[in-house]
A = this chain, B = another copy of it.
Amino acid sequence: MSERDLVARIQRRLPPAPPWMLVGIGDDAAVIEPERNRAEVLSVDALVEGIHFDASFVPPDAIGHRALAVNLSDLAAMGATPRLALLSLVLPSALAVDAFDAMVGGLLRLASAHATHVAGGNLTRSPGPLLLDVTVAGHVKRRQAMTRGGARPGDEIYVSGTVGSAGAGLQMLEAASPQAVSDAAGPCVRRYLYPEPRVRLGMLLSRNRAASACIDLSDGLSDGLYRIAEASGVGMAIDPGALPIEPAARAWFAARGVDPVAASLAAGDDYELLFTVRPRTGRRLAAAIRHGGTALTRIGVCTADRAMVLKGAPGEPGGDQELPRVGYGHFQ
């Protein structure tokens, strides 16, 4: 199948181009009318077979879903409204057309759910792994973009949804027989295969000016905490008992003799938002919670002394520990 045929297969499934798309797929570049009085937010992220996913247990529609989800999650972390995506697909010649269609289908379903239009891209052959490199563009009011660098001592630390879920889901998929995998439908496996980028929550946090700093959790909770702390120049004290660990994940880790807190700090791929909130701005946060539809959990506080601390329970042996700097870097 030629590049032209594959592009046509994508084009047939696209919704009508919005009026701001002056030139869409099929020319040398896309031409876009910017949103008035907004700053533009741009991000790119690649999903590489064998590094970011194992095609033996991640079905094609989940591959397409995840390739866009990780990018929408970056926009969510900035508080941006998504607008368009460019798809750069690098395809092994062995990839079946059915798998291509399913992959594109998974991506376009998520795009449609977030009003994100495919404005162009590039297809090329791969001599190696399947690779999906997605660029997304969105917009945000100039002063409402959330960064990693705005946290101050005293700010409270929140995380959306649950942590450790995708990490447990990945382990479940790795451990299961192919048959069991296709039947698996637990929240952990679903979270790993079809993460939900917190786009709406990010927009609400940004519009309500509820968050002083924000990041999305791609490489684990611990990594996210360290990155906000370093960019903001603060320390953090985290309450391990407060972590919103998915019950199914907690049970999975515990049954394998692994401390659920340590596992949930290290596990990646949850794509929740981690953010900080100034004390006494609870009303703004409440507005974001009320309309965002996602549970938010306070897990700690920013400190002036730069130390990264996992609090011990009062009266328990061990006491405070240094927050383990663990994570998922795909270069390690």
Interface 1/0 per residue, A103-132 and B, CB below 8 Å: 000000000000000011111111111010
Q: How far is the CA of A19 from the CA of B43 in the complex (A)?
A: 19
A216 located at the interface, meaning its Cβ lies under 8 Å from any Cβ of chain B in the complex: yes
Cβ-defined contact, B3 with A216, below 8 A:
no
A332 located at the interface, meaning its Cβ lies under 8 Å from any Cβ of chain B in the complex: yes
CB proximity to B under 8 Å, residues A122-155 = 122-129, 131, 133, 135, 137, 140, 142, 145, 147-149
Cβ-defined contact, A86 with B126, below 8 A:
no
Q: How far is the CA of A331 from the CA of B125 in the complex (A)?
A: 6
A242 located at the interface, meaning its Cβ lies under 8 Å from any Cβ of chain B in the complex: no
A120 and B43 in contact, given A29-B77, A34-B34, A125-B51 (Cβ under 8 angstroms): yes
Cβ-defined contact, A90 with B42, below 8 A:
no
Interface 1/0 per residue, A302-332 and B, CB below 8 Å: 0000000000000000000000000001111
Q: How far is the CA of A122 from the CA of B131 in the complex (A)?
A: 13
CB proximity to B under 8 Å, residues A211-241 = 214-216, 231
- The distance from the CB of A11 to the nearest CB of chain B, in whole angstroms, is 14
Q: How far is the CA of A126 from the CA of B84 in the complex (A)?
A: 27
CB proximity to B under 8 Å, residues A18-37 = 22-23, 26-34
Chain B residue contacts of A40, Cβ below 8 A: 31-34, 40
A48 located at the interface, meaning its Cβ lies under 8 Å from any Cβ of chain B in the complex: yes
Cβ-defined contact, A27 with B148, below 8 A:
yes
| A126 nearest in chain B by CB position | B48
Q: Specify which of B31, B43, B78, B128 is in contact with A127 (CB 8 Å cutoff).
A: B128
What are 29 of the A-B contact pairs (CB < 8 Å)? A2-B332, A3-B329, A22-B145, A23-B145, A26-B231, A27-B78, A27-B149, A27-B231, A28-B214, A28-B216, A29-B78, A31-B39, A32-B40, A32-B41, A33-B142, A34-B34, A34-B39, A42-B84, A42-B120, A44-B122, A46-B90, A46-B124, A49-B127, A51-B126, A52-B124, A88-B133, A124-B331, A127-B128, A135-B135
